Amino acid sequence: MAVITSTMMAYPLTLAHLLERAEKLFGPVEIVSRLPDKTLHRYTYADFVRRAKALAEGLQRLGLAKGDRVGTLMWNHYAHLEAYFGIPAAGGVLHTLNLRLHPDEIAYIVNHAEDRFLLVDDVLVPLLRQFEDRIRVERIFVVPLTGQAVPEGYGDYEALLAEATGDFSYPELDENDPAGMCYTSGTTGRPKGVVYSHRALVLHSFAAALADTLAVSHRDTVLPVVPMFHANAWGLPFAATMVGAKQVFPGPHLDSESLLELFEREGVTFTAGVPTIWMDLLRYADERHPDLSSLRMVICGGAAVPLALMQAFEERHGVRVIQAWGMTEMSPLGSVARPPAGLPADEHWRLRATQGRIVPLVEARIVDDDGNELPWDGRSVGELEVRGPWIARDYY
């Protein structure tokens, strides 16, 4: 009997492919960032790719080895996007640090991850100095967002990029190589590290682009309110780059007035964040009546979303707020509440109030204390177990 073997190419799923695709296809697409002084920084995908590769080259020149961790203490902006791709492109591991944690916890996380280098916003240097004497890193580079000189004793991020020759070449990357890292506080003990592979991040990006999940596409203007230092930014920087969407970053300005001004000015079509953000935005929108006609979808997660909030946005402002669920350990997308078309109104809203359907390639079940699977009947309560190609197997 003849044995049939696969004739498919062994093509690694790495972030390098996403970066190269962005360079070839989306060069003129804009990336906009609100800086600490509230001015807007604008450049294109072509600029972003060039600078991400310059960062990768600079890190390699510093001796970065495959698997070395590079920490980022940064808000949402263009330089953080460069780090999202430049660090993995060099073979390193992007380690986003939650700037809202206590300095003692940040120091613990930096040391536990054994970060070799740190990239820090200049406006966050005062935070850095609260724990700097307790961490073990080789070099710290400051991103000069405010135009002020980089403080003495730190490397200059812009100078690091300016030294690049442009002769960058990727190291040999395997799709199972680590590309990103994020710590989760969980419910017990010290924060625990979750390591994302190139393969996981690429597949997660495809999941975010599916029509029945987030439907992120080239036609979108994406503004992630969810911090890039938390829960993998819900995978949005990777997904948006893969499809070539215009990206808009709010920087440190997450107040309702600043966000709504960006929505209107930049024609934002897709945004994502936690319920507390949207509760205040609803209050502000009810008072000021901004033009939100460009927004096709708001993804809300991190806590249960009140049904009244979703209905108010839709009925009073024509904005669809969709609930989604996930975890840092899941990269994080796990389910999205997008009911099928044609349902009666009461059934539609009943389903919108749930966590929705599990997304493709993720499997989920509920088990009892003995590990027996419980029925999907809407009443059974037990431990939730999930598995899939972007779900963590264990902690770092």
Structure confidence by residue, pLDDT tens digits, 123-135? 999 999 999 999 9
Give the amino acid at 93: V
Tell me the CA end-to-end span of the chain in Å, nearest whole number. 46
Instruction: Judge whether residue 168 has pLDDT over 80.
Output: yes
Find the mean pLDDT for residues 244-271: 98
- Residue 215 — pLDDT band, cuts 50, 70, 90? very high
pLDDT band at residue 188 using 50, 70 and 90 as cut-offs: confident
What's the confidence (pLDDT) of residue 63? Answer: 97
- Average pLDDT of 112-129? 98
Separation CA 226–CA 233 (nearest Å) = 6
Question: Assign residue 48 a region: left if phi > 0, alpha if psi is -120 to 50, beta otherwise?
Answer: alpha
Taking residues 159-163, report their average pLDDT. Answer: 98
- The pLDDT value recorded for residue 187 is 67
Indicate whether 139 pLDDT > 70.
Answer: yes
* 70 vs 166: which has the higher pLDDT: 70
State the average pLDDT over residues 305-331.
96
The average pLDDT across 212-239 equals: 97
SS3 272: strand
How far apart CA 3 and CA 335 sit, in angstroms, is: 39
27 CA to centre of own chain: 21
Q: What is the pLDDT of residue 186?
A: 66
Give the whole-angstrom CA distance, residue 53 versus residue 129: 29
Instruction: Specify whether the CB–CB gap between 48 and 192 falls below 8 A.
Output: no
DSSP secondary structure letter of residue 149: P
